[in-house]
Amino acid sequence: MMQRRKSRQVTVGDVPVGGDAPISVQSMTKTDTSDPEATSAQIFELAGCGCEIIRVAVPDQTSAAALSVICSRSPIPVIADIHFDYRLALKAIDAGISGLRINPGNIGADWKVKEVVKASREKRIPIRVGVNAGSLEKRLEEKYGGPTPEALVESALREIELIEKQGYEEIKVAVKAFDVFITIEAYRLLAEKVDYPFHIGITEAGPLLPGAIRSSIGLGILLREGMGDTIRVSLTAPPRDEVRVGREILQVLGLRRFGPVIISCPTCGRCRVDLLSLIRRIEERINGLGDLRDLSGVKVAVMGCRVNGPGEARQADLGIAAGKKSALLFKKGKIVKRGKLAAMVEDLMDALSSWPNISSRRR
């Protein structure tokens, strides 16, 4: 069993972060924030697929002006992402945001940070000190010869100290880099210095597949070492993919349960069914069941080969072992039906729809 790092807790809207709270999944909208309709629509989409906290970029006054509408509509807490102009942070706070991210590398002079802290303290809005390797202060790049773990940590500690001097400790902190090992070492170093909750991620991780792999390795190591109170997977992909990858990382590590676990074979020359299409159909059907927390931990095997298929299906809670002409439906290790594949899929979905947790909640 992994031991989670002990951290204090802050609250972003109605979502606790740190302490013994569940590790939350974040994403960031990829719309133009100045368009409240498009941004709100994307937030609702992400909330529907399991995003628990959403961050929006606030690059200009027009975007800041749209925040009041976005925040009033959002079903999940909204964090404003601020760079360069501290006045945007002040406007975002007035607009009703639930959290703030500032970048020590570009937010500017200490007095500007003090103004932001003062406004945040009045409304008890948590501040994330978000250090990125790509926007590190020039003096630290020169001191350390680049964005080293030590440089990232020094940047974070200085900003944290500045906020603390204003009598405010509602702080989260992140020290991110594209390089997995720089990121890991930075968090390790920071964990020795502070007990604030950690927002973890691998920044600018890349397109969907390489980015998901890079993020899974980096976040997996950090989470396995007990670090991380909220996560964001940064992908050049639709934000729903960020949420999906983040949830899966947490579920694989046993840190959260979001829904059923699907077991399926990779297919080979022994497979006699179109397993890829079958899996997609079953995933779509499962996602249509609604609150998948009711199916948390349920193992569903969908196999297309007689070598491992029956064994995997037998070990799952529910499973289909499909052959060329027929398929078997397993439940809790026993064959309960045999017939055509399409019929077995329907029976599988019926069994999931009437699973004890779901049926008791829907009565």
Distances (CA, A) of 139 to 156, 183, 356: 14, 20, 60
Over the chain, what is the mean pLDDT? Answer: 93
Residue 15, strand partner residues: 12
Mean pLDDT along residues 316-328: 90
Q: Residue 202 in 3-state DSSP? A: coil
Whether 25 and 105 map to the same domain: the answer is yes
Owning domain of residue 75: 9-252
Mean pLDDT along residues 96-109: 94
Whether 347 and 198 map to the same domain: the answer is no
Task: Report whether pLDDT(145) > 90.
Answer: yes
**Long-range contact pairs involving 310-314 (C-beta distance under 8 Å, separation at least 24):** 312/263, 312/265
Q: Residue 255 in 3-state DSSP? A: coil
Residue 17, strand partner residues: 10
DSSP structure class, residue 215:
H
Whether 190 and 286 map to the same domain: the answer is no
> pLDDT value at position 361?
43
Report how many domains make up the chain: 2
Task: Report whether pLDDT(358) > 60.
Answer: no
Whether 225 and 276 map to the same domain: the answer is no
Whether 248 and 332 map to the same domain: the answer is no
Exposure of 181 in the CB half-sphere (CA atoms within 13 A): 0
Whether 213 and 271 map to the same domain: the answer is no
Whether 204 and 119 map to the same domain: the answer is yes
Distances (CA, A) of 196 to 7, 9, 160: 5, 8, 10
Residue 303, strand partner residues: 321
Of the given ranges (68-82, 92-106, 152-166, 274-288), which has the lowest mean pLDDT? Answer: 274-288
User: Residue 131: in which H helix or E strand, if any?
Assistant: strand 127-132
> pLDDT value at position 355?
87
Query: Is residue 3 a part of any domain in this protein?
Result: no
